[in-house]
Amino acid sequence: MTRTPMAAVWEELGGDPALLPGVSTVARAGALEAALPVRALARACVGACALAAAELGARRAGLARVPRVSVDDGAVATAFVSERHLRIDGRAPLNFAPLSRFWRTADGWVRTHANYPRHRARLLDALGAADDASPEDVAALLAGRSAREIEETVYAAGGLAVALRTPKEWSAHAQGLALAQRPLVEWDGPAGRYRPVDPGGSAGPAEQAGPTDPGGAGGHEGAGRAARGPGLGELSGDGALLPASGVRVLDLTRVIAGPVATRTLALLGADVLRVDAPQLPEDLDAHADTGFGKRSTLLDLAADRRAFDELLASADVVVTGYRPGALDRFGLSPEALAERRPGLVVAQVSAWGTYGPWGGRRGFDSLVQVATGIAVTEGSPERPGALPAQALDHGTGYLLAAAVLRALTERTESGHGRVVRLALARTAMWLTDGIGRAETPGAVPDTSAGEPYDRPDAWLAERTGPVGRLRHALPPVSFTGGPTDWSRPPGRWGTDPARWA
């Protein structure tokens, strides 16, 4: 029998299966409807993240039982399109630039991504188009060329373009074959490559925080021991349970998966400092969507290396989301970071993975959908479609946050850090081939039927901050006693000092 998606993810994270019955779900028809099981993916990613948070919170607060987790389809569906619900002083952001779209080619379709000015410039240069080329100009240039030829030409110029493939074509592609050999959640560390340590680190599962409290059921004895890991102390009983309180997170990520992960860690109490290069400005609307709870600073890693090293010296977690290899020249590869700081948790997210012929390529959710056959499944080879959300980004982001939380829980026992890697394309493969729909009897979390999901209003909030009056999606990560919103709205990009709070 097939495990539930939640059980499968929790196992990949190295979690204790005894905690799974404490997760309940409010199912809502109409949420994230698609040909593929997007709703199941979203539930599993958010649920695993919430359970990892509750587990760490119980460990650090000395609770006898892990708080119950609730996954509401309405909250999840709203958060998975948070960028669409965002309003800044009443204005809706532009999520895709005019040259970020599907294009007809001589033999099919290609999709490009040109939201950032540098990517737009490289795309136009690769196509031999003028700097002020219109979408009509680009369409005319692409119409007579092969999709695969466009893909290779644009990538060779440092731009982003991906030819439409069917699921069968992707499964036979060298990158698809490489991804198929890897787990969804890829670990390095004391337990070896790919494999998480046993739940609770060096201690057995019976010694870690006990099962979630299902309304009064018993837990494991000894569940309330306080954390002993480096940099983490006991949590006080005042206010909301913030499992990541006191955890310092260096955020070296860009849209969307990495910033979603660090936004979630900020929700849970972490001191998250996003660091960007001054010469690589971020889209300010994207920052407004994913900057909740964080601070943002600018550092040139070449010129300001001493300041960065001082931050790194006292960080607990580093999250990276740049193209694989991009940070290596600064000595900031995951392996170099782990060697330099054995207790550090390093989390890396990429589009295509760090291996295979596409391991060094840039990518975005929309492009991964096109390459992996998702666009064909959600539409057809003649008229490609898309998922109802950038679910690869959001789902991978919550999984990345879950992995960080589980690594911190393990560190309270072992004292060791971990390196964890996720890739949008591997998440896509899980969605297309691995989730399944059959469920093992007895392993399904409690599910109740809620009202159909037809409006997001119940999961939206408004607040005023430095960037203006914001309407935003509320966080979907929910457990008893946990936070219900971020402690602060996003500040202005790059304006905070380069120091910990």
Identify the sign of the CA torsion 294, 295, 301, 306: negative
Q: Which of 107, 393, 433, 457 is catalytic?
A: 393
Q: Which residues contact 345 (CB under 8 A, 6 or more apart)?
A: 316, 317, 318, 404, 407, 408, 411, 417, 418, 419, 420
Concerning whether 393 is annotated as a catalytic residue, the answer is yes
3-state DSSP assignment of residue 306 = helix
SS3 per-residue string spanning 214-252: CCCCCCCCCCCCCCCCCCCCCCCCCCCCCCCCCCEEEEE
3-state SS track over 338-398 = HHHCCCCEEEEEECCCCCCCCCCCCCCHHHHHHHCCHHHHCCCCCCCCCCCCCHHHHHHHH
Q: Answer positive or negative: Cα dihedral of 417, 398, 198, 235.
A: positive
Q: At what angle do helices 38-61 and 5-12 cross, to 10 degrees?
A: 50
Q: Are 53 and 268 in contact (CB under 8 A)?
A: yes
- C-alpha span between 318 and 434 (Å, rounded): 29
Structure tokens belonging to residue 84: 């669409």
Residues labelled catalytic = 393
